[in-house]
Amino acid sequence: MTKPIKKSIKSAIALSAVAVLGLAGCAESNSEPLVIGSQAYYSNEIVAEVYAQVLENAGYSVDRQFALGQRDVYVPALLAGEIDLFPEYTGNLLQHFDPAATATAEEDVYQALQAALPAGLTALALSGASDQDSYNVTSDFAMKNNLTSIADLAGVSGIRLGGAPELAERPYGPMGLMSFYGVTVEFEATGDTTVESLEAGLIDMANVYSADPRIQQLGLVTLTDPQGLFLSSNLVPIASDAVNQEARDLINAVSSAMTAADLVALNVRSVEEQLSSAVIARDWLLSKGLID
């Protein structure tokens, strides 16, 4: 009984050795696969998957390194050349490299980011889609106080603002509301339950990412920001020197095709239909005619 088993183990080892050698041979003859990274954020992962599929469709081999956590974790890997392509957000990334940056408008932020990026990394074409901090109120609260813009809050007293703990100290937090709009708020650290707290009436205004599907689902009113309190944060692909011009053109085509509404729609499909990012990315690319 034992002999045949031993034999089969031996042949399995031999087979896998051959397979490993064969794969190694492949890697040598072709160019290295492009490593595409993403944050541990479902929306970011969908965009990374879009990049991956458009490149694969053009014959590139890609290595998906998704859900890499937050900037503190993956930026060092980007700098070390371990990741070649990463979907990022202009404002937040600029703040990472240059915490003292003052630009808030879309184009200014993009230019400041290009200047702030370390050598070896390039910001490709800016996308019209953005995913940035925004202040939201319930439609009831907006109606009752006649609100459309953050500036309208100046006449309302006792506003409770909810958000992540760090919002208390961010330039666009309570201090920024005061200096930009003369609005006084009481800060509540609602953490990951911010939207739920807004719904439950524990807070009056919530800091929610603008591409969050729940803004649409719950009919929240996003207050406009005429004074540019918030840093614009448009979707922007960050590429290493390993990404060649042809690949860059493919990714730039994706960026110019993706609108703000598209990004929200992708997020809605993920949250409501619970589809995988591969399916969502493929459907979107097909609908835009970017892959066949």
The residue ranges that bind other proteins (CB under 8 A) are 72, 162, 164-166, 168-170, 187-194, 196-197, 199-200, 202
Minimum Å distance from CB 246 to other proteins?
38
Question: Which C-beta is closer to other proteins: that of 166 or that of 292?
Answer: 166
Question: Which C-beta is closer to other proteins: that of 166 or that of 273?
Answer: 166
Minimum Å distance from CB 99 to other proteins?
8
Question: Which C-beta is closer to other proteins: that of 106 or that of 188?
Answer: 188
Question: Which C-beta is closer to other proteins: that of 271 or that of 290?
Answer: 271
Helices 90-97 and 71-79 cross at an angle (nearest 10°) of 80
Minimum Å distance from CB 169 to other proteins?
6
Question: Which C-beta is closer to other proteins: that of 185 or that of 257?
Answer: 185
Q: Are 104 and 230 in contact (CB under 8 A)?
A: yes
Minimum Å distance from CB 70 to other proteins?
9
Minimum Å distance from CB 140 to other proteins?
17
